[in-house]
Structure 1
Amino acid sequence: MSDRLSVFERIVRSARHVGQSPITEAREVHPFDERNIHPEISAVSLNLFDNGHYSQATFEAFKLLDNKVKSASGLAESGYKLMMAAFNETNPKIRLTDLATTSEKDEQLGFRYVFAGAMSAIRNPRGHDIIADPIDLCLDHLSFASVLLRTFDSRKAP
Structure 2
Amino acid sequence: MTRKNSEETTVQIKQFTIKEIDRGITKLERRVQDVEELREETVYSDPKIKNVEESIKETIREVYGQFSPEFIKYQHYTIWEGTYVIGDSFLGKQTKFQLGIEHAISMLNGLIERLAEKKFDLEQDPDTIKIQTFNGLNLHPRISNVCLNLYKDGHFSSAVFEASKSLINYVKEKSKRHDLDGTNLVRTVFSRNKPILGFNNLIDQTDLDEQEGIMHLFEGVVMGIRNPRGHGNITDDPDRAMDYIILISLLAYRVDNSSSILRED
Instruction: Indicate the TM-score class for this superposition, using the shorter chain for normalisation.
Output: 0.7 to 0.9
1:62 aligns with 2:164: yes
Q: Does 1:145 align with 2:245?
A: no
User: Equivalent residues in 2 for 1:35-54 (5 A)?
Assistant: 35-54=137-156
SS in structure 1 at match of 2:260? coil
Partner of 1:21: 117
Q: Which amino acid aligns with 2:223?
A: S
The CA deviation string for residues 8-44 of structure 1, in whole angstroms up to 9 with x for no partner, is xxxxxxxxxxxx6345579977222443222221100
Match of 1:79 in 2: 182
Q: Which residue of 1 aligns with 2:209?
A: 106
Q: Does 1:93 align with 2:181?
A: no
- Aligned partner of 1:129 in structure 2 is 232
Structure 2 segments unaligned to the other structure (5+ residues): 1-115, 124-128
Secondary structure of the structure 1 residue equivalent to 2:197 = coil
Higher relative contact order (CA 8 A, sep 6+): 1
Which 4+ runs in 1 deviate beyond 6 A? Answer: 25-29
In structure 2, what is the Cα distance between the partners aligned to 1:90 and 1:52? Answer: 42
Q: Structure 1, unaligned stretches of length 5 or more?
A: 1-19
1:62-95 CA-partner distances (Å, limit 9, x unpaired): 1011001111222211111111111011110111
TM-score (structure 2 length as normaliser): 0.49
% identical equivalent positions: 35
* Secondary structure of 1:30 counterpart: helix
Alignment: residue pair count:
141
Aligned to 1:4: none
Native 8 Å contact 1:32 1:42 kept in 2: no
Rg: which structure is higher?
2
C-alpha contact (below 8 Å) 1:96/1:157 kept by paired residues: no
Q: Is 1:117 the equivalent of 2:210?
A: no
What is the root-mean-square deviation of aligned Cα atoms in Å? 2.5
The AA in structure 1 aligned to 2:228 is: P
